[in-house]
Amino acid sequence: MNDTLLVDSIASAISSSTAVLIAATGELLVEKTGVYNIALEGVMLVGALTGFLVDLWTGSWMVGLLAAGAAGALYALLYGVITILFRTDLIVVGVALILIAQGVTNTLGTSHVGQTTRSVIPLWNVPGLSNIPFIGPAIFRQSVVTYIAILLPLGAIFLYSRTRHGLNMRSIGENPETADTSGIPVIGWRLFYTALGGLFAGVGGAVITLGIVKDWVSNVTAGEGWIAFAVVFFSGWQPGWIIVGAYFFGALSVLGYVGQALGWPISSQFFTILPYIGTVLVMILRAWLQRRRGQVSWPAALGLPFYRG
Amino acid sequence: MSVEPARRVLSNYTPVTHARPPRLRWRIERRAQPLNLSLFRFGAVFIGIILSLAAAPLFTTASPRSLYDAMWSGTFGTATGLANVLTIAIPLLIAGLAASIPYRLQLWNVGIDGQIYIGAWAATGISYHLTSQRSFVIIPIMFLGAMIAGALWILIPALARVYLGVSEVIPTFLMNFVALGWLMYWATGPWYAPSAAGGVFAIAIPPQADLGNLNIGSLAVDWGILLAVSLPILFWAANRFTRWGYEVTMIGASEKAGRYAGMNVRRTLIAAMLSGGALGGLAGALNLMGSSYQLGPGVTNNTGFNGLIIAVLAGANELGVLVLGLVYAVLLSAGDAIQVVGASADMVFAVIGITLIFGTFGEAYARLHLVRTRAPEPSLAETGGTG
Amino acid sequence: MTAGGHAADALTLRGIEKRFGDLVAVKELSLSFRAGEVHALLGENGAGKTTLMNVAAGFLTPDQGEIDVGGQPMSFGSPRVALAAGIGMVHQHFRLVEKFTVAENLAIGATDVSQVTSTHQLVERASKLAERFGVDIDATQPVWALSEGEKQRVEILRTLSRGAKVLILDEPTAVLSTEEAEHLCTNLRMMAAEGTTVVFISHKLPEVLSVADRISVMRHGALLATKDRPDCTVESLSKLMFEELDAVRETLRHRQRKGGGEVLRVSHLSARTERGVPALHDVSFSVNQNEIVGIVGVAGNGQLELVHMVTGHRRPDEGEITIGGKLVQDIRDTLRAGLAYIPEDRKGTGLIPSQSIWRNAIMRNYHEAPVNRGGVISGSEARTLAAELIDRVDLSTKDTAVLVQQLSGGNAQKLLAGRELDHRRRVVVAVNPTQGLDVRAASAVRDALDDACEKGLAVLLISADLDEVLGLADRILVLYEGKIAGEFNAEEADRDRIGLLMGGATP
């Protein structure tokens, strides 16, 4: 029935956006301090495999997620040390780390290809709300992680608008020299947040293997890392828009399948590419609207290596 | 109300009776005169490759002997191996050029894969309408179409970069996905051809469009190899000897100086980007007409990204792109070959990744050095916290 | 009073020396600043004032010397340490985060802000600080929307709120309107009255006399004198600043040159700086053939904008520029009209250091024959041209493949000047052409300018070096705060009067 299809689609859109939401929030935290982690896709892969294997080992999805986070944090920290500390080229190192991640995870995971996840992240029916006709099953029968995931960007909003720490971190991303003169350790915090972003991305990757796709295949993240990266740009570095962006992208991809199932004349690919076109247009639009102000929408020091003095 | 108490709260100035001698600390700083960048880049990459090759047996259950044997026969040992290397090299070298020309002006063309897709698509589409034509008509027109498509694909990001200052990295990159989606639509829809082997393929291009093989003894590789080898040399020569190349070199070194000399900086930037796009499209056409013959997502296998990396490691020098590109092709071909003996292709990715990191370290070493400074240990209390 | 320094002094500098390569910017300088005084540091370009205070504020590490704060020795090399010791500096380029509001800027790295805060709290804190230090700001505004004067106030407030007891300001009124400048000076006197030490770097005589308690004059990296305000007059200070040194002085050049027809005309030129501050007001003058017109003035009085407009790098806000009767509006126009430009930034704009001599040599005519043959740059033609150039300017190396970055400053400038002072040009704009050069190279460049002028070129020389202009120019214009403060022919050029005009005083 059309109704069931719609409900299922919405539920599916929400759940499949979870991984992107988590990873994108993490990347936002990193980029606010002026660093971008091009290796995001690789970090998510590392997390995806780690989560899957630890889950297999221990039979617990929770431990799997934790381990994935730790692995992601370490891998991202590696990226951070190579690029932030040694001032190497962000793009080349990022791509290199993605290649390494693909190579290593696919190799280690070969024997597990197609294997289903041992302990899957369970869905949770929100008491009461999940019984509301139509909306209930669509929105309120998600996994715990999905609900927690929404808290992350909200937390980021709070961090950047209401805390002293958030202000200091933003200053690192805008003008690291000033932050440095004001007594804030620039390199140290950049490394910290790169690792933290990696933790989020690792968890996001594990959410894919443990919660969405629920098995392991080669390159299981299938570009979700890149989508998360694009979402950060789409959001204009504002955490609230990360939520919009992540769900928007998720919805569009689901829409593609729905369209196919319903026999719409528009092909599914149209929906697949829409978010990317959208992001490019949004970026151009923002730049055009803000050219009077003379300010850029991204953290002014994004991507620039920091040298003291 | 006295002003003094308030000021005391705000100031953390605490006098001490003696000054502590400053601590010696290490710090990474830029060198006043960078060392020879090319030397260190190439050297580092070279070392990286040697080390990876040496370490390769560790990552697989296959015996080292069979591993190296496979690598050898898959590259230089046999005619098929060598042909494979060159076939891989064809789109790779053009992709490297597609990245290096913009890179001369510090522009990043991260969308080469997308340009490959769109170029192959355009070439395919054109070929369907010219099925009655002869080779020497159909082939150039397909090339041209592919190049125009590639250039158009990069046009918007290029304009956004030059006129609005929007970094070209993300827009060009996102266009990759758009191109793939576009290609998939046509390949699974209007141009779909059911294939026994499975996978997505469009209707094959007419046989006149096939580039055909250049046969040297037992070595058979398609004619695209001539373009792939000559274009880098041509572009290098153009950069060295033509007026256009002179402007690119000068503007790439200093936009300020370029403007001072009356050069049209914007036009040069856009032209460089469009050239990159066109070459990306050409790479797609070459792959299509030289080896795959059917439009599909397999028309590129990260070729664009690989090309970008080659360009960066080569320092935008086209001859460097030629050399590194061939080396890269050898690595990739070796990677193909070792799968026969049970090693996974993915390890090849990892190896390449590690080599790249070596390369960037090499470059960083040439640019930076470790300095021992008397970074001051504050003899007085420091203001500010750790956030 | 001398700079002996004793315990009551807020800041004492002893034997400070700072070198940049071969250039000695500050020579064994000792100076003391007292608590609660406004101390002006006076001097023209290259005197070393900014360098000296950068050392004091921790932005530079001196090669020699000591710094005492309130009688206690202080280690240097970091602005953080200096600020912790109570020394803060406000530069000409502010260190604010433009995207943040004023309140947020004041809160960066501050320890007296609670961990969880709110915009309201930050604004309140900012307002309290503003009140405390008597600085007038609107804490809710984003910094990018503020005027330069307001931004400066925020910067000052930030420095003071971090506990600075010595406030150093580098040419603070350069970005201010007259009103704002007055306002600032009043503020500074108030701060001094409350115990802050204010060090005020400037080259503007009237200003310094109106606000300072003591005045130190620097020249060529050395301290000439420190005087109490009551002991100073505009004339006495100007003399100190611009006095003829008994160093090697260039002999007067041809003064009987008769200028030819008008080549360059500048009419009613007005412009603002990049930051929106008015820089040039209704400036008009002309330069004839066979004539050197020298525009003299301390940097920051509109020279930059003037040069950029005359050379086509930017459009004037008002007014127009003609060369040979034809209006010029962009770089291409100027090149077509025959304008040559020897920029101040020789290795950044005029030459490309990472490229070879021959590539640099053809920067002006790479698109013309014989170098350009149908789109192909003929290497041999280019090298021939370069070799001729090398010969003409007597460069230290004869190899056209040598990279410019390997040349010394003097040789690079000789190359640049030689390339620009081509007889096919009609007018040359030269900005500080001998800055940082040794005596021989400087002399060679001046000779080149002179020769070019003899051969018919119109030369517009913009320099902060009064000696140089006096030695070369046929006509001298003094630029102060964007206006032509005075005009002199070579014969009637009176050094003292010019010095006064450069310092903003009316003789």
Please report whether residue C507 resides in a domain. Answer: no
Least confident span in B357-371, C198-212, C470-484: B357-371
> Is the same domain home to C64 and C109?
no
Q: Which of C243, C275, C291 is the last residue of a domain?
A: C243
Q: Does the structure show a pLDDT above 80 at B13? A: no
Q: Domain holding A11: CATH number?
A: 1.10.3470
Please report whether residue B10 resides in a domain. Answer: no
Residues of C in contact with B245 (CB under 8 A): 377
**Total domain count for chain B?**
2
Pick the closest to residue C87 from C159, C37, C155 (CA basis). Answer: C159
pLDDT the model gives residue B219:
80
pLDDT the model gives residue B341:
75
Subunit contact B181:A269, Cβ cutoff 8 A: yes
Interface of B with C (CB under 8 A): 3, 6-7, 9-13, 15-16, 19-20, 22, 241-246, 249-250, 253-254, 256-257, 259-262, 373-385, 387
Least confident span in B34-38, C179-183, C231-235: B34-38
Between B196 and A124, the higher pLDDT residue: A124
> Is the same domain home to C287 and C420?
yes
Assigned token pair, C494 = 């009176």
Which residue in C has a C-alpha nearest to residue B5's C-alpha? C132
> Is the same domain home to C415 and C493?
yes
What is the Cα–Cα distance from C467 to C448, expressed in whole angstroms? 17
Residue A9's φ and ψ, nearest 5 degrees, are -65, -45
pLDDT the model gives residue C255:
54
> Is the same domain home to B170 and B286?
yes
Average pLDDT, chain B: 82
Subunit contact B383:C162, Cβ cutoff 8 A: yes
The answer to whether the CB of C498 falls within 8 A of the CB of C244 is no
> Is the same domain home to B114 and B236?
yes
What are the pLDDT digits (tens) for C356-387?
A: 999 999 998 888 877 888 888 888 888 998 99
Q: Domain holding C496: CATH number?
A: 3.40.50.300
Distances in Å between the alpha carbon of C436 and those of C179, C355, C409, C421, C465?
Answer: 36, 22, 8, 20, 11
Residues of B in contact with A218 (CB under 8 A): 346
> Is the same domain home to B203 and B334?
yes
Subunit contact C194:B3, Cβ cutoff 8 A: yes
Dump the DSSP string for C172-228: GGGG--HHHHHHHHHHHHHHHHTT-EEEEEE--HHHHHHH-SEEEEEETTEEEEEEE
Please report whether residue A123 resides in a domain. Answer: yes
CB-nearest partner of A283 from B166, B359, B382: B166
Please report whether residue B73 resides in a domain. Answer: no
Please report whether residue B383 resides in a domain. Answer: no
What is the Cα–Cα distance from A234 to A17, expressed in whole angstroms? 15
pLDDT the model gives residue B373:
60
CB-nearest partner of C95 from A168, A177, A309: A177
Q: For the packed helices B79-103 and B112-129, what is the interaxial angle rounded to 10 degrees?
A: 110
Which residue in A has a C-alpha nearest to residue C110's C-alpha? A182
Please report whether residue A34 resides in a domain. Answer: yes
User: Is C439's Cβ below 8 Å from some Cβ in A?
Assistant: no
What is the Cα–Cα distance from A73 to A21, expressed in whole angstroms? 17
Between A136 and C197, the higher pLDDT residue: C197
What is the Cα–Cα distance from A51 to A55, expressed in whole angstroms? 6
Residue B159 CB neighbours (<10 A)? 17
Q: Does the structure show a pLDDT above 80 at A260? A: no
Distances in Å between the alpha carbon of A149 and those of A206, C301, C313?
Answer: 13, 57, 52
CB-nearest partner of A167 from C95, C96, C107: C107
> Is the same domain home to B25 and B56?
yes
**Total domain count for chain A?**
1
Q: How confident is the model at residue C244 (pLDDT cuts 50, 70, 90)?
A: low
- Secondary structure of chain B: what % helix, strand, coil (to 5)? 65, 5, 25
> Is the same domain home to B44 and B181?
no
What are the pLDDT digits (tens) for B331-371?
A: 888 888 887 777 667 777 787 888 888 888 888 888 887 77
Subunit contact A295:C95, Cβ cutoff 8 A: no
Please report whether residue A297 resides in a domain. Answer: no
Please report whether residue C430 resides in a domain. Answer: yes
R_g of chain C, CA atoms, integer Å: 25
Assigned token pair, C405 = 């970055």
Which residue in A has a C-alpha nearest to residue C59's C-alpha? A309
Q: Does the structure show a pLDDT above 50 at B326? A: yes
Subunit contact A293:C113, Cβ cutoff 8 A: no
Answering whether pTM is above 0.90, one says: no
Please report whether residue B16 resides in a domain. Answer: no
pLDDT the model gives residue C277:
81
> Is the same domain home to B93 and B139?
yes
Residues of C in contact with A178 (CB under 8 A): 95-97, 108
Structural element, H or E, at residue C80: helix C79-85
Q: For the packed helices B112-129 and B135-164, what is the interaxial angle rounded to 10 degrees?
A: 140
What are the pLDDT digits (tens) for B153-196?
A: 999 999 999 998 888 888 999 999 999 999 988 888 888 887 76
Please report whether residue A170 resides in a domain. Answer: yes
Range of the domain at B262: 80-342
Distances in Å between the alpha carbon of C76 and those of B374, C5, C58, C83, C496?
Answer: 9, 19, 5, 10, 39
| Mutation choice for C interface testing from B38, B239, B246 by most C CBs within 10 A | B246
- Rounding to the nearest 10 degrees, give the CA dihedral for residues B282, B288, B294, B295: -30
CB-nearest partner of A181 from C79, C98, C118: C79
Assigned token pair, C260 = 């030819």
- Three-class secondary structure of residue A248 per DSSP: helix
Range of the domain at C460: 262-354+403-502
> Is the same domain home to C150 and C198?
no
Q: How confident is the model at residue C169 (pLDDT cuts 50, 70, 90)?
A: very high
> Is the same domain home to B180 and B253?
yes
Average pLDDT over residues C130-157: 88
Subunit contact A96:B356, Cβ cutoff 8 A: yes
> Is the same domain home to C67 and C171?
yes
> Is the same domain home to B186 and B288?
yes
Q: How confident is the model at residue A69 (pLDDT cuts 50, 70, 90)?
A: very high
- Three-class secondary structure of residue B160 per DSSP: helix
> Is the same domain home to B29 and B92?
no
Chain C, residues 66-125, CB within 8 A of chain A, namely 78-80, 83, 95-100, 104, 107-110, 113-119
Average pLDDT over residues B19-23: 47
**Total domain count for chain C?**
3
Subunit contact C107:A164, Cβ cutoff 8 A: yes
Residue A151 CB neighbours (<10 A)? 11
Q: Does the structure show a pLDDT above 60 at B18? A: no
Average pLDDT over residues A127-138: 74
| Mutation choice for B interface testing from A100, A169, A296, A302 by most B CBs within 10 A | A100
User: Is A269's Cβ below 8 Å from some Cβ in C?
Assistant: no
Dump the DSSP string for C404-432: GGGS-HHHHHHHHHHHHS-TT-SEEEEES
Please report whether residue A302 resides in a domain. Answer: no
Subunit contact B376:C77, Cβ cutoff 8 A: yes
Between B376 and C213, the higher pLDDT residue: C213
Q: How confident is the model at residue A275 (pLDDT cuts 50, 70, 90)?
A: confident
Subunit contact B182:A110, Cβ cutoff 8 A: no
Please report whether residue B314 resides in a domain. Answer: yes
Average pLDDT over residues B122-129: 91
Subunit contact A96:B352, Cβ cutoff 8 A: yes
Please report whether residue B34 resides in a domain. Answer: yes
Subunit contact B346:A307, Cβ cutoff 8 A: no
> Is the same domain home to B337 and B349?
no
The answer to whether the CB of C164 falls within 8 A of the CB of C88 is yes
pLDDT the model gives residue C257:
67
> Is the same domain home to C221 and C272?
no
pLDDT the model gives residue C245:
57
Subunit contact A181:C83, Cβ cutoff 8 A: yes
Question: How close is the nearest chain C Cα to the Cα of B92, in Å?
Answer: 28
> Is the same domain home to C452 and C431?
yes
Burial state string for B263-285 with b = 16 or more CB within 10 A and e = fewer than 16: bebeebbbbbbbbbbbbbbbbbb
Q: Which of C143, C162, C181 is the last residue of a domain?
A: C162
Question: How close is the nearest chain A Cα to the Cα of C93, in Å?
Answer: 12
Range of the domain at A41: 2-289
What are the pLDDT digits (tens) for A91-122?
A: 889 989 998 998 889 888 888 888 888 888 88
pLDDT the model gives residue B282:
96
Please report whether residue A45 resides in a domain. Answer: yes
Please report whether residue C248 resides in a domain. Answer: no
* Cα four-point dihedral sign C83, C88, C90, C91: negative
Q: Domain holding B238: CATH number?
A: 1.10.3470
> Is the same domain home to B142 and B171?
yes
- The count of CB pairs under 8 A between chains A and C is 64
Structural element, H or E, at residue C448: helix C439-454
> Is the same domain home to B122 and B106?
yes
Residues of C in contact with B381 (CB under 8 A): 84
